[in-house]
Amino acid sequence: MTGKHAGKAWLGVCLASLLTACSQGNGFSDLDKFMADTRAKPRGHVEPLPEFKAYEAFSYSAADRRAPFEPPVDVQLTMVDQQPVSNVEPDLDRPKEVLENHDLKTLEMVGTLQGPEGQQYALVRDGEGGIHRVRQGNYMGQNYGRIVGVSETRIELIEIVPNGRGGWVERPRSLSLDEG
């Protein structure tokens, strides 16, 4: 060991013994008495936390119904005993397109494309993960749905469905862009 280190070690030993010697006195009797009195007092009582009700999420399921503040519309049954007057019927001789094999509920619009002549195309994901490009005039869905309009956020269709009386009726439908 060098002299410098030996001096520091000797100084540390001296300081430790000096501190030990100073702490042997009874100079803390007033502090000991205070601590004993504090421990003898009755302890405080902490109230338990109040119980809170868990948050229950509410899903509004009547969004597609008539608003409650609008007056009801009188519906008159005009087709009670009439024969179907509509000459609408699907073209059964036409070859089916790929998206006509899928239910409209399983199809999702996921984007749009602009053609070279400015024609708008829509990108549709089928239920099996494939992406298809469609435009106005194409067919999709199992109810002979013909695309009548494509915008940046939705596809407008006209479906031909049975009216329940042996005839057919056109029904407008739309497929909106899936923002997720």
Interstrand relation of 108-114 and 154-162 (parallel, antiparallel or unpaired): unpaired
pTM strictly above 0.75: no
Beta pairing partners, 74 = none
Residue 147 · residue 155 · CB < 8 Å: yes
Q: Indicate whether 168 belongs to any domain.
A: yes
Q: Indicate whether 105 belongs to any domain.
A: yes
Structure-token match 């302890």, residue found: 43
Residue 174 · residue 151 · CB < 8 Å: no
Report H helices in 1-60: 3-22, 29-40
Residue pLDDT, tens place only, 14-71: 787 777 766 555 677 888 889 899 889 888 888 888 888 888 887 777 777 777 787 8
Residue 146's domain comprises: 98-176
Report H helices in 23-152: 29-40
> Domain tally for the chain?
1
Q: Indicate whether 171 belongs to any domain.
A: yes
CATH of the domain at 134: 2.30.30.830
Residue pLDDT, tens place only, 99-128: 999 888 999 999 999 888 888 999 999 888
Give the C-alpha separation, 164 to 146, whole Å.
21
Give the C-alpha separation, 37 to 125, whole Å.
78
Q: Indicate whether 126 belongs to any domain.
A: yes
